[in-house]
Amino acid sequence: METIALVLKARQGDALAFTELMQTRQAKLYRIAYSYTKNRDDSLDVVSEVVYRAYVGLGNLRNPAHFDTWLIRIVINQAINHLHKLRRITLVEDMPNIPAVQGVVDAAEAIDLQAAIAHLDANQQTVIILKYFEDLSLAQVAEVMDRPLGTVKTYLHGALKKLRLELKEVPQ
């Protein structure tokens, strides 16, 4: 069934429609949460809180066509809030396996990349995660972040510049 129709049904109290909306998006929600928390249990906590907030706040969604964007915003905000609450060091064994990133050859490079991304500010992290790990276009990223496209491009440029500097190999 179409997203808009499911959102409208869920707004009217149809629990099955809401369940279908969440089930079709659960893997994406988890991936986004995991790219922030870098921990399975924390990611599951974030996703469960997102589902609750989406259920409670569905009536506040102005345009059902923007359901996916609205939901991604909730995930990002909840993941960031969760991290602020924890303020803990990420252990190496909690680092994610980064799927199919071009140029990443081994686990050490993947860990270096994830650590470098963690050093970016929140806006830059969000742009990198959504663009390269969730494969959204810059226009979609701008919509999710509720920022002008030019601002998102600036965040991306700054993030890539910082990543290049941090990941630059030192000759031995």
57-78: per-residue pLDDT in tens? 998 888 999 999 999 999 999 9
Q: DSSP string covering the chain, please?
A: --HHHHHHHHHTT-HHHHHHHHHTTHHHHHHHHHHHH-SHHHHHHHHHHHHHHHHHHGGG-S-GGGHHHHHHHHHHHHHHHHHHHH--PPPGGGS----S-TT--SHHHHHHHHHHHHTS-HHHHHHHIIIIIS---HHHHHHHHT--HHHHHHHHHHHHHHHHHHHPPPP-
5-26: per-residue pLDDT in tens? 999 999 998 999 999 999 999 9
How is the chain split into domains, by residue range?
1-89, 97-172
97-172 classified as CATH 3.30.1330.10:
no
For 1-89, the fitting CATH number among 3.90.76.10, 1.10.1740.10, 3.30.420.10, 3.40.50.800 is 1.10.1740.10
Is the pTM for the entire model greater than 0.85?
no
